Structure 1
Amino acid sequence: GTKPAFFHVSHRFVSPGLPGVSASGMGLRLSQKFVFLLFLSGLVTLCFGALFFLPDSVRLKRIFLSKTETQPVTVGSGSENDVREHLKRPKDQEHPRGMASVKGETSTKLKSLSRKPSVSHEATEERLAGGKAQEDLTLLRSKTESASEKSTSSDHGATSDTFSYKKFKRCLLRPPLGTDDGKPSDPKTNERREKVKEMMKFAWDNYKRYAWGKNELQPLTRNGHIGNMFGGLRGASIIDSLDTLYIMGLVEEYNDAKDWVQTSLDLNSNGEASLFEVNIRYVGGLLSAYYLTGEELFKNKAVELGEKLLPAFNTPTGIPRGVINLGSGTSWSWGWASAGSSILAEFGTLHLEFVHLTELSGNPIYTEKVMNIRKLLNKIEKPHGLYPNFLSPVSGNWVQHHVSIGGLGDSFYEYLIKSYLMSDKTDDDAKKMYYSALEAIEANLVQKSPGGLTYMAEWRGGILDHKMGHLACFSGGMIGIGADDGAPEKRQHYLDLAAEITHTCHESYTRSATKLGPEAFRFDSGAEATATRLSDRYYILRPEVIESYMYMWRLTHDPKYREWGWEAVQALEEHCRVESGFSGIRDVYTLTVSHDNMQQSFFLSETLKYLYLLFSDDDLLPLEDWVFNTEAHPLPIVRKSCLQDEATQDKTVSE
């Protein structure tokens, strides 16, 4: 075949008999040097090209790439240094939300995660998976960079493959904040709404005064709490509050929060974070703030943080591990999760946010990751149609047959129906999975107590545990919002079931001395909707019961839901409000209140937001335009056809 051009050039220079070549020896040597250097540079270029583009070059890449770009190594890689790092993990690792009272714990602390992680026999497979993760990240960076080069903002210079905020706003059916910021015409309801707004301002002002920049306020000791759940990220209460402050019209407070994000939110942490919590609070909070305000700052931070979560998917199955070091990309499973398993409620609660990360970044990798999870779940066998809570990210098999609609399972089901709704009812796969799961739940878990209360029991390998967690009380609202989209003849059945479950959860509140509900309540040994164990009696400002009140009000306009919400406001004021904020309580059954000294960030994001929406008109964040992630951050319905039509119209106008 034809020789490369540089070969012909060099051959010409080393042939003294060819015309045009200097006869002097010095000229010949200079020519040889020039050709040699040219040849060498070509050789180096070829070598580096092979090094960085051949699929088997991951280990060599590590030699040349900087530390921040090195391929993450998962637990089980056999690295003793990695194991030592895990052994240093703090012993007071926080509970991921929904995991309180795992294995009978009585506080909101996890058992020590410092035990040595097991080195799996699939280590080789794990390392091979690493190459794919690095390629994914490289692809993501290049696409993000090219998108940002095409457009300096979401509206100026936008092309068909970059997100336009103006187009998005035109595709909403109604203004996000309604005609009058959702102000109800009824004076009594408006007075109640103003009270909730005052509670938010009080909680926020004290957080700002005593804990600014920390994750949560400790109101009794008047200081900030950082914890280990967010991996070195700070300001959880700020990110969680952005959308609440905005919809309540607390403009000065919102601007303070935005300024902090601009100047102080450092995403270059090297700590060990819950994938689930960082996604629902930080990514969800930033996405929501962007969609409500159009501030590019929030979009850019959300996409940057989303990229840092991708290495958690670096497993043989693509099922992400629960804990990730945001700096190195190293990931592992929770120490208490049996056999190194991943948790259904964690890997099943990424879909809404990741679809929006793809929308904003133009990069399909986020949607691909969550769709891969769904494919695996569709493929494996489900006992009685149920989804157990523990799954091995290595084998892709269930680890235990424990099923719960409360902690460990809850938001997986919520995200199925919400994925369908958020897709403008085009995601038929999510719809099918949701209704199949709901049928299995009704057949196996939904129970009626002797006193006539409908509740969700837990399932342990075929044996029912007649316990319902506070976390499971979101399911009233979930079943309600899905009532319209199942079989038409079952619509009323689902609305009735939603109302019955919400009623049961209200009973768990009214049967306590404080009129606040316990962490878990039972239906056995003569007990009904009451906690029988000391370890289940606490209330940590959770939102799930109020969440169902809000949805049921929107669906039925039955005034009892607003009355029940007002009861909760009064109980929070009486028992949880302290001099410098709001605190959880250790026992809902005694009026001698013992506070836990923690103002949870989800109190600002969820509990107070759902109360405010309950006392607002339905056109404040209308459900035909918005779905709420599991941290109550509103995300818009994706109307692909509308966005495409808008793009076509814009193109026609420009032509």
Structure 2
Amino acid sequence: MRTMRHIFFAGLALSLLAACASQPPSTEAPAVRDAAVAAALARQGADAAMAARVKAEFLHAWNGYKQHAWGHDALLPLSKGARDWYGESLLMTPVDALDTLLVMGLDKEADEARELIATQLSFDRDLDVKHFEIVIRLLGGLLSSYQMTGDTRLLALADDLGTRLLPAFDSPTGLPYVYVNLRTGNAHGAESNPAEAGTLLLEYGTLARLTGKPVYYEKAKRALVETYRRRSPIGLVGERFDVETGDWTRTKTHIGARIDSYYEYLWKCWRLFGDRDCLAMWNDSIAAANRYLPEEVDGMLWYGHVDMATGGRVSSQYGALDAFMPGLLAYSGDLDRAKRLQASSFAMWQVHSIEPEAYDYRRRVVTQAAYPLRPEIVESAWYLYRLTADPAYRDMGRVMFDDFVKHTRTDAGFAALKSVVTKEKADDMESFVLAETFKYFYLLYAAPETLDPGVVVLNTEAHPLRPIVQ
């Protein structure tokens, strides 16, 4: 069987041959043609070198995890220790990272991780877990890796996990509680938000189609629909609600934390499942967001915070999580707006050579200085490159990757920053760094066939899910 490395370089050669074959006879002077071909070859070589560099840095982080935290949820990259989310390991990093290992063609490492997961992971635990995080990281990771390997042990784990999580939906409204106990099914945590209620259907829907159990799709879709139904008369959702009453408890709206991936899944559920209800909800919701959230400041486009009932401006805050939106806009066909918003995201990054958690774009000051190694701006660069073929997005990625490595690399892995201003590190490397951040950096430079967003749909944790023909 060919490795991903073989596929990469075969694809590179084929793309060069195709490019040459498709060109009409040129009237340019030979010297001009030769210079253009040389420049194209040089860029292709530079991109291949970047993909190899990203893979090498990913391996640095993975090997640090193996050496200091194997079998645990996460690596502590400064103290070279381990952390488990709930006091017992659910193998968060191996599950989250497995499909990245597969995408990068790291077969030996992928096999080791897969065996660890298949033989050691159990969900029969008396643990109250956060429903949303477990769904996007563990359920999404198991499903994606099953689809990529065919290992039925991974699907069995996903089905067991899904069954244990379903009681989270047993609220009067069908909106899920925040926490659920994996053994007892007891659920609690009534104050939730659109992201945690609406970012579930890709995973549960895929599980439903792989297992033939429609209850998974039905529960997750109801939660998404119930969130949408509570939008204001002008079409906007708020930031927090009570899952038992359905009432909003915080009415500010934006595209950042607690709302972001709600928009993402409206579009992606249409792409993955062809569900026309999702398309209709997306069309209505994105129209409202694009009407009330954007703000022009000094010729640049930003998405700020407004009141969900009136659309009145509340604040001029944008941040690392908001930076997913250019990719989503591009993916859904709104390229002009996507390009402008990505330029603003990158401008925010360049203020301190790495992006802050929150930035006031009117005052041009950082309001939350932490950097947890987030992937969203890189995700958007990848979507924009794949949809425009503009090398500027790969150039942007090189700047960001240089900064990322310079400011966050440690002897054992990569560390979050307490402050993008001082560059002081924190002893934290979340599993999403291996699931998302490195994956998107790699995909930005890898051969196009490595992962095609026109064929697969990536969940909000960057786990690629494939359509299932019924």
The aligned residue for residue 466 of structure 1 is 316
1:73-110 superposed Cα distances (whole Å, 9 cap, x missing partner)? xxxxxxxxxxxxxxxxxxxxxxxxxxxxxxxxxxxxxx
TM-score, normalised by the number of residues in structure 2? 0.89
Q: 1:518 aligns with which of 356, 359, 362?
A: 356
Q: Please say if residues 233 and 267 of structure 1, whose CA atoms lie closer than 8 Å, have aligned partners that are also in contact.
A: no
The aligned residue for residue 387 of structure 1 is 237
Structure 1 residue 457 corresponds to structure 2 residue 304:
yes
The within-5 A match list for 1:317-336 is 317-333=173-189
Q: Structure 1 residues 178 and 625, CA, compared in 2 at 3 Å: closer, same or farther?
A: farther
Distance between the aligned counterparts of 2:424 and 2:439, measured in 1?
25
Shift of 1:380: 3.8
Q: 1:627 aligns with which of 457, 465, 468?
A: 457
Distance between the aligned counterparts of 2:144 and 2:376, measured in 1?
20
Structure 1 residue 205 corresponds to structure 2 residue 53:
no
1:399-445 superposed Cα distances (whole Å, 9 cap, x missing partner)? 3212121100000100010001102xx32111111121111111111
Percent identity over paired residues: 32
Shift of 1:378: 4.7
Shift of 1:320: 0.7
Distance between the aligned counterparts of 1:176 and 1:296, measured in 2?
21
Q: Please say if residues 142 and 158 of structure 2, whose CA atoms lie closer than 8 Å, have aligned partners that are also in contact.
A: yes
Q: Structure 1 residues 245 and 327, CA, compared in 2 at 3 Å: closer, same or farther?
A: same
Partner AA of 2:336 in structure 1: D
Shift of 1:594: 1.3
Q: Please say if residues 230 and 237 of structure 2, whose CA atoms lie closer than 8 Å, have aligned partners that are also in contact.
A: no
The aligned residue for residue 292 of structure 1 is 148
Distance between the aligned counterparts of 2:441 and 2:385, measured in 1?
11
1:330-366 superposed Cα distances (whole Å, 9 cap, x missing partner)? 1111xxxxxx322110010000001111111111100
TM-score, normalised by the number of residues in structure 1? 0.64
Distance between the aligned counterparts of 1:286 and 1:181, measured in 2?
25
The aligned residue for residue 189 of structure 1 is 47
The aligned residue for residue 429 of structure 2 is 599
Aligned residues: 435
Shift of 1:606: 0.2
The aligned residue for residue 353 of structure 1 is 203
Distance between the aligned counterparts of 1:327 and 1:347, measured in 2?
22
The aligned residue for residue 442 of structure 2 is 612
Q: Please say if residues 519 and 539 of structure 1, whose CA atoms lie closer than 8 Å, have aligned partners that are also in contact.
A: yes
Q: Please say if residues 296 and 302 of structure 2, whose CA atoms lie closer than 8 Å, have aligned partners that are also in contact.
A: yes
The aligned residue for residue 125 of structure 2 is 269
Alignment gaps of 5+ in structure 1: 1-174, 334-339, 484-493, 641-655
Shift of 1:381: 4.9
The aligned residue for residue 225 of structure 1 is 83
Taking CA–CA contacts closer than 8 Å with sequence separation of 6 or more, which of the two structures ends up with the larger relative contact order?
2
Q: Please say if residues 197 and 224 of structure 2, whose CA atoms lie closer than 8 Å, have aligned partners that are also in contact.
A: no
* Secondary structure, counterpart of 1:347 in structure 2: helix
* Secondary structure, counterpart of 1:217 in structure 2: strand
Q: Structure 1 residues 373 and 176, CA, compared in 2 at 3 Å: closer, same or farther?
A: farther
Q: Structure 1 residues 213 and 178, CA, compared in 2 at 3 Å: closer, same or farther?
A: closer
The within-5 A match list for 1:112-511 is 180-181=7-8, 184=12, 186-228=44-86, 232-333=88-189, 340-423=190-273, 426-449=274-297, 451-460=298-307, 462-483=312-333, 494-511=334-351
Q: Please say if residues 193 and 241 of structure 2, whose CA atoms lie closer than 8 Å, have aligned partners that are also in contact.
A: yes
Q: Please say if residues 175 and 227 of structure 2, whose CA atoms lie closer than 8 Å, have aligned partners that are also in contact.
A: no
Q: Structure 1 residues 594 and 285, CA, compared in 2 at 3 Å: closer, same or farther?
A: same
* Secondary structure, counterpart of 2:7 in structure 1: coil
* Secondary structure, counterpart of 2:72 in structure 1: coil
Distance between the aligned counterparts of 1:234 and 1:541, measured in 2?
21
Distance between the aligned counterparts of 1:570 and 1:350, measured in 2?
34
1:354-396 superposed Cα distances (whole Å, 9 cap, x missing partner)? 1111111111100110222244345445242101122222222
The within-5 A match list for 1:535-554 is 536-554=368-386
Shift of 1:618: 1.7
The aligned residue for residue 89 of structure 1 is none
Distance between the aligned counterparts of 2:88 and 2:272, measured in 1?
31
Distance between the aligned counterparts of 1:188 and 1:540, measured in 2?
28
Distance between the aligned counterparts of 2:429 and 2:375, measured in 1?
13
Distance between the aligned counterparts of 2:5 and 2:294, measured in 1?
37
Distance between the aligned counterparts of 1:176 and 1:276, measured in 2?
34
Alignment gaps of 5+ in structure 2: 14-43
Q: Please say if residues 240 and 604 of structure 1, whose CA atoms lie closer than 8 Å, have aligned partners that are also in contact.
A: yes
Partner AA of 2:261 in structure 1: S
Q: Structure 1 residues 315 and 178, CA, compared in 2 at 3 Å: closer, same or farther?
A: farther
Q: Structure 1 residues 521 and 380, CA, compared in 2 at 3 Å: closer, same or farther?
A: closer
Q: Please say if residues 198 and 227 of structure 2, whose CA atoms lie closer than 8 Å, have aligned partners that are also in contact.
A: no
Distance between the aligned counterparts of 1:236 and 1:295, measured in 2?
18
The aligned residue for residue 56 of structure 1 is none
* Secondary structure, counterpart of 2:129 in structure 1: strand
Q: Structure 1 residues 375 and 611, CA, compared in 2 at 3 Å: closer, same or farther?
A: closer
Distance between the aligned counterparts of 2:453 and 2:4, measured in 1?
12
The aligned residue for residue 70 of structure 1 is none
Q: Please say if residues 239 and 285 of structure 1, whose CA atoms lie closer than 8 Å, have aligned partners that are also in contact.
A: yes
Partner AA of 1:544 in structure 2: E
Distance between the aligned counterparts of 1:316 and 1:176, measured in 2?
50
Partner AA of 1:521 in structure 2: Y
Distance between the aligned counterparts of 1:341 and 1:367, measured in 2?
23
1:212-263 superposed Cα distances (whole Å, 9 cap, x missing partner)? 11111111111001133xx844211100110001111111111110111122
1:572-610 superposed Cα distances (whole Å, 9 cap, x missing partner)? 2211111111101122123xx311011111010000000
Distance between the aligned counterparts of 2:61 and 2:402, measured in 1?
16
Distance between the aligned counterparts of 1:379 and 1:176, measured in 2?
47
* Secondary structure, counterpart of 1:521 in structure 2: strand
Larger radius of gyration: 1
* Secondary structure, counterpart of 1:619 in structure 2: helix
Partner AA of 1:180 in structure 2: I
The within-5 A match list for 1:54-73 is none
Distance between the aligned counterparts of 1:421 and 1:602, measured in 2?
23
1:608-629 superposed Cα distances (whole Å, 9 cap, x missing partner)? 0001110012211212210000
Q: Structure 1 residues 177 and 348, CA, compared in 2 at 3 Å: closer, same or farther?
A: farther
* Secondary structure, counterpart of 1:395 in structure 2: coil
Distance between the aligned counterparts of 1:549 and 1:318, measured in 2?
36
The aligned residue for residue 555 of structure 1 is 387
Q: Please say if residues 178 and 620 of structure 1, whose CA atoms lie closer than 8 Å, have aligned partners that are also in contact.
A: no
* Secondary structure, counterpart of 1:447 in structure 2: strand
Partner AA of 2:73 in structure 1: N
* Secondary structure, counterpart of 1:305 in structure 2: helix
Shift of 1:456: 0.8
Q: Please say if residues 321 and 342 of structure 1, whose CA atoms lie closer than 8 Å, have aligned partners that are also in contact.
A: yes
RMSD: 1.8
Partner AA of 1:253 in structure 2: E
